[in-house]
Amino acid sequence: MRKLTDIELQAIQDSIRKKEIHAAELLAEIYDHYISHLENYSKKEFESELENLDQKWSYAYCHKIQHELNKNINKTIRKTQWSLIKSYFSWPKMAFTLLLVAILALIVNTLSWHLQVLILFILPLVYIVTFSIILMVRTRKKTKGIRALFGFSKSGIWVRSVFSSQFLNYVALPLHFYNLFLNLPRVLGWDKYVPDYLVNYLSIAFCFMLVIHSLSSYEAWKIKSKTAFV
């Protein structure tokens, strides 16, 4: 095993850029594989071995893997978060879940509508937005090295973490539900036809889902942040 020269590393980077990959995870894996493989060969064998690697990791093959990576990450996130959500309905977290429902019911039945909106919706949504921003900042830091090698300035392609993009979509999901189920009915005037008691029940249900989603997202992030670009 030998240390590759700067010229050889540059040749590897140029070769990988031609594949036009945007997934930081895949770029890091391919780059590491190329280097690990080529370190075992002499300078005379470098070009022929690099060509062999390019044939194995062809443009079409890399894009197929990138597509599968997107699907697998999507499934992984859903599976992880769903298992965490289910844990809130089993002991000992069940005690926390019941306490949360009791607190939400107390807030809805005792506070004014404006305070309900502030506590039940605005604060959790602010948490989700803040959490999303923190994730984006962390992702940029974690992918800085790979973006410097294969990013837009080098290849004209916006290199990004597929896991981070998918995870951010899940974290921000309640924002879409908030607009669809709470803001849209008010804009259309439908809220006038809904009884107050039903509005209260819907508020409790939505806020409960919002809090559980926020907590499970945070737990999922703690698990995945150890290995993923997030």
Assess whether pLDDT exceeds 90 at residue 207: no
Would you say residue 152 has pLDDT above 70? yes
Give yes or no for residue 194 having a pLDDT over 80. no
Placement of tokens 């921003």 in the chain? 133
Predicted pLDDT at 65: 96
Mean pLDDT, range 176-193, rounded to an integer = 62
Share of the chain above pLDDT 70, in %: 85
Residue pair 25/227 in contact by the 8 Å Cβ criterion = no
Q: pLDDT category, 145, cuts 50, 70, 90?
A: very high
Residue 184 pLDDT exceeds 60: no
pTM > 0.85:
no
Question: Residue 143's closest CA among 59, 31, 15?
Answer: 31
DSSP readout, 61-113?
HHHHHHHHHHHHHHHHHHHHHHHHHHHTTSTTHHHHHHHHHHHHHHHHHHS-H
Q: Please, what sign has the CA dihedral across residues 135, 138, 140, 146?
A: negative
Residue range 85-132, pLDDT digits in tens = 888 888 888 888 888 878 877 776 777 766 766 676 777 778 888 888
Q: Is the pLDDT of residue 41 over 90?
A: yes
**pLDDT number for residue 206:** 77
pLDDT-derived band at 178 (thresholds 50, 70, 90) equals low
Averaged pLDDT, 24-51: 95
Q: Which two tokens stand for residue 79?
A: 């599976």
Structural domain spans, the chain: 6-224
CB atoms within 10 A of CB 71: 10
Compare 91 and 34 and report the one with higher pLDDT. Answer: 34
For 48-87, how does the pLDDT look when each residue is reduced to its tens digit (9 = 90+)? 999 999 999 999 999 999 999 988 988 888 888 889 888 8
Chain-wide mean pLDDT for the chain?
84
